[in-house]
Amino acid sequence: MGHFDYIIAGGGCSGRSLAVRMLPYLRAFNKRALLVDKELKKGNDKTWCFWEKHPDTFEPIVYRKWDRLSFSSSFIDQELDIQPYQYKMIRSEDFYCYTDDQLDKDDHIQCINGNVEELYTKKELAHVRIDGALYTADYIFSSIPQAFKKRPDRYQYLLQHFQGWVIETEGQTFNPDCATLMDFNTPQQVGTSFVYVLPLGSNRALVEYTVFSEKELPAEYYSAALEQYITEQLHCKKYSIKAQEYGVIPMSDHPIRKQRGRIIYLGTAGGFTKGSTGYTFSFIQRHTAAIVEKLIRQGDPRIPPVTAQRFNTYDGILLHLLSRGRLSGEKIFSKMFEENSPVQVLKFLDNDTSILEELQLFSTLQKKEFALAFLRRTFKLMGIN
Ligand SMILES: Cc1cc2nc3c(=O)[nH]c(=O)nc-3n(C[C@H](O)[C@H](O)[C@H](O)COP(=O)(O)OP(=O)(O)OC[C@H]3O[C@@H](n4cnc5c(N)ncnc54)[C@H](O)[C@@H]3O)c2cc1C
């Protein structure tokens, strides 16, 4: 049985973010950590987008960044100046390569391939079984999905599912200085749906069709929607597909345990996927940075919540509206961007606003529908349907 100071179970976005951030601490305090993942992470399986004001740990691998975004729907068409924020894109391929590089050359962390079969706390130690072998640690950080029973009588469960194509066009189709955050000029019958466009050059972009609904769609539906958008909205008849991405992100207000004994959950497994938008990357960075800061200060990785509980309530209300179809996502986001400064909207979606700022923003939204959704959700949580 091997013992480490820390074990990181799952070496995807959050596991590796924590590992890289921890390196200076491990060196300074002469601690040892183990990182385990069942897969060899290499290819470009994900493209992460997020916004931030200041460069952070992964700035060296930011692939593209934009100071301006656009938002379009059947109600509004706006270009958004988001400074002091920048909207950034990191390709997972670069992230895996960069983190491998940092981790492989450091003796304080060992990276292995293996299937995590069991995690538990016993006698003040965290235990993990990897391919039949037992390891212990003072703490385990896990991004391996936690099993939980769904409670549709209480909580909302939607999926954000999407397909993206990196396309190359013959003409100069894109403005490389402005990314499309949301364009709702897509069929809305299957659920809230929009396209985002991340220009990589004047004739190259990642165009991604995204749907919020209860179920995924047949594969051909996403391709048809992308084709339609590229020809009708981007007015582009000749293009070639250079790469593809497909993904599903859970959107829910189901409470998720962030800690169990000496096991601390990270990433989506720890509830760091924002229920109403699916954005996770920057919440992972905030969480892992806070863990390392606490370790440095007190040698203890347990931290209070990184964002206020009220944001889960807001996400729950929005999910309630979206899943009941009482107010379309197109209407909600259009109103939000039409009536508020883009910087304020991004700050709000980042769970970073003050209560006063939130009240100001809510006063611009569809008050009656939101108030009703708040009441209905509260009754549902109390078991009164
Ligand atoms: C295609 C796609 C695009 C996305 N784009 C964005 C975006 O633009 N912006 C954003 O904010 N969020 C985005 N997300 C959401 C979120 O940022 C990602 O899902 C992110 O990877 C979550 O990080 P994580 O560490 O929680 O999970 P992961 O990165 O999936 O890491 C979990 C790791 O655990 C490993 N694992 C699982 N089970 C075991 C086991 N039993 N034993 C050992 N290892 C195991 C897996 O192999 C994996 O490497 C996207 C998600 C997807 C799927």
Tens-place pLDDT, residues 344-360 = 999 999 999 999 999 99
- Domain 157-252 -> CATH class: alpha beta
- Both tokens assigned to 59: 């700035």
pLDDT of 189 above 90: no
| Percent above pLDDT 70 for the chain | 100
Give the tens place of pLDDT for each residue, 314-333: 999 999 999 877 889 999 99
> How many Cβ atoms are within 10 Å of 360's Cβ, its own excluded?
15
The whole-chain average pLDDT of the chain stands at 96
The residue whose C-alpha atom lies closest to atom 10 belonging to ligand 1 is 279
Q: Which amino acid is residue 208, in one-letter code?
A: E
Q: Which amino acid is residue 155, in one-letter code?
A: Y
Q: What average pLDDT does the segment 376-382 reach?
A: 90
- The answer to whether 2-149+253-298 and 157-252 have equal CATH topology is no
CA of 65 to the centre of ligand 1 (A): 22
Q: How far is 259 from 382, CA to CA, in rounded Å? A: 24
Quick one: pLDDT at residue 180? 98
Ligand 1 contact, 275 CB (< 6 A)? no
SS (H, E, C) 343-360: HHHHHHHCCCCCHHHHHH
Ligand 1 contact, 101 CB (< 6 A)? no
Q: What average pLDDT does the segment 235-258 reach?
A: 95
CA of 13 to the centre of ligand 1 (A): 6
Ligand 1 contact, 249 CB (< 6 A)? yes
pLDDT of 26 above 80: yes
Ligand 1 contact, 38 CB (< 6 A)? yes
CA of 87 to the centre of ligand 1 (A): 20
Q: Is residue 42 very low, low, confident or very high in pLDDT (cuts 50, 70, 90)?
A: confident
Q: Is residue 334 very low, low, confident or very high in pLDDT (cuts 50, 70, 90)?
A: very high
CA of 42 to the centre of ligand 1 (A): 13
Ligand 1 contact, 281 CB (< 6 A)? yes
CA of 249 to the centre of ligand 1 (A): 9
Ligand 1 contact, 37 CB (< 6 A)? yes
Q: Is residue 188 very low, low, confident or very high in pLDDT (cuts 50, 70, 90)?
A: confident
Ligand 1 pocket test target in 56, 182, 280, 286 with most atoms within 8 Å of CB: 280
Q: From the CA of 283, give the closest atom in ligand 1.
A: 11
Quick one: pLDDT at residue 278? 94
Q: Which comes out higher in pLDDT, residue 202 or 327?
A: 202
Ligand 1 contact, 15 CB (< 6 A)? yes
Quick one: pLDDT at residue 383? 85
Quick one: pLDDT at residue 267? 98
Dihedral angle, C-alpha 59, 64, 68, 69, nearest 10 °:
-110
Quick one: pLDDT at residue 18? 98
Domain ranges of the chain: 2-149+253-298, 157-252, 310-381
| Per-residue DSSP letter, 268 | G
Q: What is the CATH number of domain 2-149+253-298?
A: 3.50.50.60
Dihedral angle, C-alpha 216, 218, 222, 228, nearest 10 °:
-130
Q: Which amino acid is residue 88, in one-letter code?
A: K
pLDDT of 335 above 80: yes
| Per-residue DSSP letter, 334 | H
Ligand 1 pocket test target in 144, 206, 244, 248 with most atoms within 8 Å of CB: 144
pLDDT of 367 above 80: yes
CA of 206 to the centre of ligand 1 (A): 19
Q: How far is 347 from 4, CA to CA, in rounded Å? A: 39
CA of 230 to the centre of ligand 1 (A): 28
- Both tokens assigned to 340: 């508020």
